[in-house]
């Protein structure tokens, strides 16, 4: 008996990949998913069964929010047993945020979820969409002895497969739009698809797949800059119902040592607001206490985001706040890698 074909589901959320030019306004907007498949007859040549599902109203990913994350997670949940792999077509602007959030929402994931999109629409002569889509489907179809090779949420773009929650969109123009500066590539596509097996996430296969659906959006992200004022910082912390703040500090986690700054942080930590220190550098890690300019943060109980990206820090925070973790253990849990998102 011949080997049965792998079953892949394509989840179309929107993004440039499926956009067309509105000639009245001269801007790109999302269009019907059916047209997308008509434009890639090559998909018929792949040795897998491809099914498609689309958000009711595809979006530019700049309109992405946690309610869409939930819709994507629920599509995966309801098709989890029926399919071997999942490919999510998504705008590149916020793809790293969605891939990161999904990595936390999909608990004990044992199948591939590959995010991809493109810089040019699929109908464009010089499009990058076809290669991105075809190789993403191949990644999602990869099997070894009847079991998926990739068992995590990843992102494929311009010949590289990355761990989704390690990526950042670094370039708005180049085909190579994404980077994973703190974690090696999971695979590279050339003449062969070269998988770096040692870097793939190894989930506990005895645990049952489940979707974490509760996310708490009562957070803020603050990027430090020389000249940030006390009133700006105060107004952010005074936001009603605020549960946590991610601070993008300088370099290895450093900030001003001015007393007003530390006092605000101290006051809100005392009130139960979690504060996470991540670096605004694209690569490298927070090391609180390495410089004098970060040792006070460590002393007052700021959480170290280590080498996490902003995108993953946001997803992890909304997820953990949704888990009702006791205040005492929140710091310890946040500082632990849950899905390979930090070292
Ligand atoms: N604005 C688009 C989006 O994120 C850009 C893209 O798809 O690359 O939906």
26 CA → ligand 1 middle, Å: 16
Percent of the chain predicted with pLDDT > 70: 96
Averaged pLDDT, 281-286: 96
Ligand 1: list residues with CB < 6 Å.
14-16, 60-62, 91-93, 117, 119
CATH 3.40.50.40 domain residues, the chain: 219-334
Averaged pLDDT, 172-188: 96
The Cα 26–Cα 323 span in angstroms is 45
pLDDT tens-digit readout, 27-41? 887 766 666 667 778
Q: Which of 89, 92, 157 for a ligand 1 pocket mutation test, highest count of atoms within 8 Å of Cβ? A: 92
16 annotated active-site: yes
Q: Which CATH architecture has domain 6-211?
A: 3-Layer(aba) Sandwich (3.40)
The position carrying tokens 């997308």 is 36
Record: fold of 219-334: Rossmann fold (3.40.50)
Terminal CA-CA length for the chain: 45
Ligand 1 atom closest to the Cα of residue 62 is 4
Rg over CA atoms, the chain: 21
More confident residue, 24 or 165: 165
Ligand 1 atom closest to the Cα of residue 30 is 9
pLDDT tens-digit readout, 216-253? 999 999 999 999 999 999 999 999 999 999 999 999 99
pTM above 0.85, yes or no: yes
Residue 140 and residue 150 in contact, taking contact as beta carbons nearer than 8 Å: yes
CATH 3.40.50.1170 domain residues, the chain: 6-211
Q: What is the pLDDT of residue 95?
A: 98
Ligand 1 atom closest to the Cα of residue 16 is 7
SS in 3 state form for the chain? CCCCCEEEEEEEEECHHHEEEECCCCEEEECCHHHHHHCCHHHHHCCEEEEEEEEEEEECHHHCCHHHHHHHHHHHHHHCCCCCEEEEECCCCCHHHHHHHHHHHEECCCCCEEEECCCCCCCCCCCCHHHHHHHHHHHHHCEECCEECCCCEEEEECCEEEEHHHCEECCCCCCCCEECCCCCCCEEECCCEEECHHHCCCCCCCCCCEECCCCCCCEEEEECCCCCCHHHHHHHHCCCCCCEEEEEEECCCECCCCHHHHHHHHHHHHCCCEEEEEECCCCCCCCCCCCHHHHHHHHCCCEECCCCCHHHHHHHHHHHHCCCCCHHHHHHHHCCCCCCCCC
Residues 6+ apart with CB under 8 A from 194: 187, 188
More confident residue, 31 or 335: 335
Residue 163 and residue 181 in contact, taking contact as beta carbons nearer than 8 Å: no
Q: What is the pLDDT of residue 274?
A: 98
What are φ and ψ of residue 263, in 5° steps? -65, -40
More confident residue, 33 or 172: 172
Q: Measuring from atom 8 of ligand 1, which residue has the nearest CA? A: 92
234 CA → ligand 1 middle, Å: 34
The Cα 40–Cα 162 span in angstroms is 24
- Which one is catalytic: 6, 13, 16, 127? 16
200 CA → ligand 1 middle, Å: 27
Beta bridge partners of 339: none
pLDDT tens-digit readout, 306-327? 999 999 999 999 999 999 999 9
pLDDT tens-digit readout, 141-158? 999 999 999 999 999 999
Q: What is the pLDDT of residue 3?
A: 64
Q: Measuring from atom 7 of ligand 1, which residue has the nearest CA? A: 91
| Residue 118, burial from CB neighbour count under 10 angstroms (0-12, 13-18, 19+) | buried
For residue 127, pLDDT over 70 is answered with yes
More confident residue, 23 or 116: 116
Averaged pLDDT, 108-116: 98
Residues 6+ apart with CB under 8 A from 283: 181, 182, 307
**How many Cβ atoms from other residues are within 10 Å of residue 207's Cβ?**
10
The Cα 178–Cα 233 span in angstroms is 31
Q: Which of 22, 93, 119 for a ligand 1 pocket mutation test, highest count of atoms within 8 Å of Cβ? A: 93
């Amino acid at each position: 008996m011949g080997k049965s074909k792998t079953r892949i589901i394509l989840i179309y959320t929107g993004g440039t990949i499926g956009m067309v030019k509105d000639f009245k306004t001269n801007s790109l907007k999302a269009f019907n998913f059916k047209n997308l498949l008509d434009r890639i007859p090559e998909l018929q040549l792949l040795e897998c069964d491809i099914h498609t599902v689309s958000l009711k109203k595809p979006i530019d990913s700049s309109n992405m929010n946690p309610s869409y994350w939930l819709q994507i997670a629920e599509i995966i949940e309801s098709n989890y047993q029926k399919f071997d792999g999942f490919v999510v077509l998504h705008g590149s602007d916020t793809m790293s945020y969605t891939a990161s959030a999904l990595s936390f929402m999909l608990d004990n994931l044992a199948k591939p979820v590959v995010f991809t999109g493109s810089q040019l629409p699929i109908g464009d002569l010089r499009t990058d969409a076809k290669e991105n889509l075809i190789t993403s489907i191949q990644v999602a179809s990869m099997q070894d002895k009847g079991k998926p090779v990739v068992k995590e949420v990843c992102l494929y773009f311009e010949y590289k497969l990355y761990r989704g929650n390690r990526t950042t969109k670094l370039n708005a123009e180049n085909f190579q739009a994404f980077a994973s500066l703190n974690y090696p590539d999971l695979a590279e596509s050339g003449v062969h698809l070269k998988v770096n097996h040692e870097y793939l996430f190894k989930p506990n296969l005895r645990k049952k797949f489940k979707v974490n659906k509760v996310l708490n959006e009562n957070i803020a992200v603050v990027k430090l800059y020389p000249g940030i004022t006390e009133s700006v910082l105060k107004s952010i912390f005074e936001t009603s119902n605020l549960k946590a703040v991610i601070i993008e500090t300088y370099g290895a986690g450093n900030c001003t040592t001015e007393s007003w700054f530390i006092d605000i942080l101290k006051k809100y930590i005392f009130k139960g607001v979690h504060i996470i220190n991540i670096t605004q550098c694209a690569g490298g890690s927070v090391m609180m206490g390495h410089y004098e300019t970060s040792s006070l943060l460590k002393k007052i109980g700021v959480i170290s985001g280590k080498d996490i990206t902003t995108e993953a820090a946001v997803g992890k925070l909304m997820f953990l706040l949704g888990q009702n973790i006791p205040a005492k253990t929140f710091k310890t849990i946040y500082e632990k890698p849950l899905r390979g998102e930090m070292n």
